[in-house]
Amino acid sequence: MDVFDNQNDLIAAVAAAKKADKRIGFVPTMGALHDGHLSLVNMGRREADFVVVSIFVNPTQFAPDEDFEAYPRDTERDISILEGAKVDCAYLPSVDEIYPNGVASNLQAGEAAKGLESEFRPHFFDGVCSVVHRLFEIVQPDVAIFGKKDYQQLMVVREMVKAQRLDIEILGAPIVRDVHGLALSSRNAYLSDAELKVARRLNLILKHDRPTPNAILKAGFDKVDYIEERWGRRLCAAWIGKTRLIDNVPAS
C-alpha cells in the first residue's frame, strides 16, 4: 500500500491506475478506524479496482466547543489496518493542502442538511461538503462509499454531488453494530464501561414502535437532541455524559 501525504503523489498514482483502466473507489475517513470503516473499504474493493482511503480530521466540521483536539488519532494503527485490508493507497493530507486559502467552509450544504443534525451542529454539513468536495477534486474517484450510520450525511453528500454535477457514484454501506447492536463509531472510544452499557440500549429503543425521548432518557442517556423520522428511517442523536451518539433504523 502506498501512503501519501501530498496530492501530487496521489494524483500520479490514481492517473496510473486510470490509465490501466481501473475503476477508482474512494473511502473518506477521519481515522480512528474500526470495523465500520473496514466494511466501507470492503465495499470499495468490491465496487472498484483501485481503492483510496483518506484520513483527515476535518477542522471545518467541528465547532470551537466540539472535540476536534480530542478526536481519537492513531495514524500508525490506522495505516496497519488499511494495509491488512488491502487498500491500494492511503492519503493523509495536511490542513494546508485541503484548505490552501485558509480553514473555512467554502460550500453550502443543500436541503438535505436542514433540521436534524443541523439544529444542533449548524456548521457541520457545510464543513463536510467542503472537505468531501475538495477530496473528490484531488482523488477523482468513480465511486465513493459512505456509511449509513451517518444517514443525513449520506443524503447531503448525494445532494452535493448532484448539485455540483460530479460524475461520482455515491454508495451507502450498511451500519456495522457490535453484538449488542451498538452502531460502531470512533466516538464509542470515549465511553466508560458503565456508559457503554447505556449506549447499547439505544438501538433497542429505536426499534420500538414510536419511541419517545423520555424512553431514551430513562435508559440512562443524559440528553436527547432529536428523534425523528425522515427518508424512511428513524434517526436519533443523544448524549451520554460528554459523548454524543447518533444512530438510525428503518422507520416502522
Query: Does residue number 58 form part of the binding site for ligand PAF (CB under 6 A)?
Result: yes
Q: Of the ranges 42-50, 124-132, 192-200, 208-216, which one interacts with ligand PAF (CB under 6 A)?
A: 124-132
| Beta strand spans in 58-184 (E) | 89-91, 143-147, 169-173
Kindly state the number of chain residues that form the binding site for ligand PAF, as judged by CB under 6 A.
10
Q: Indicate which single residue of 4, 14, 24, 28 sits in contact with ligand PAF (rule: CB under 6 A).
A: 28
* 34 tagged catalytic: no
Span 215-244, contacts to ligand PAF by CB under 6 A: none
Alpha carbons 169 and 250: distance in angstroms, whole number: 23
CB of 29 to ligand PAF, least distance (A): 5
Under the binding rule (CB under 6 A), the answer on residue 87 touching ligand PAF is no
Is residue 132 near ligand PAF by the rule CB under 6 A?
A: yes
> Rounded to an integer, what distance in angstroms lies between the CA atom of residue 246 and that of residue 47?
27
Q: Which stretch binds ligand PAF (CB under 6 A): 99-107, 108-116, 128-136, 160-168?
A: 128-136
Whether the CB-CB separation of 122 and 204 falls below 8 Å is answered with: no
Torsion of CA 217, 187, 236, 183, to 10 degrees: -100
CA torsion angle 35 127 76 37 (round to 10): 10
Give the whole-angstrom CA distance, residue 82 versus residue 77: 9
Per CB under 6 A, residues contacting ligand PAF are 28-30, 58, 61, 128, 131-132, 150, 153
Return the active site residues.
37
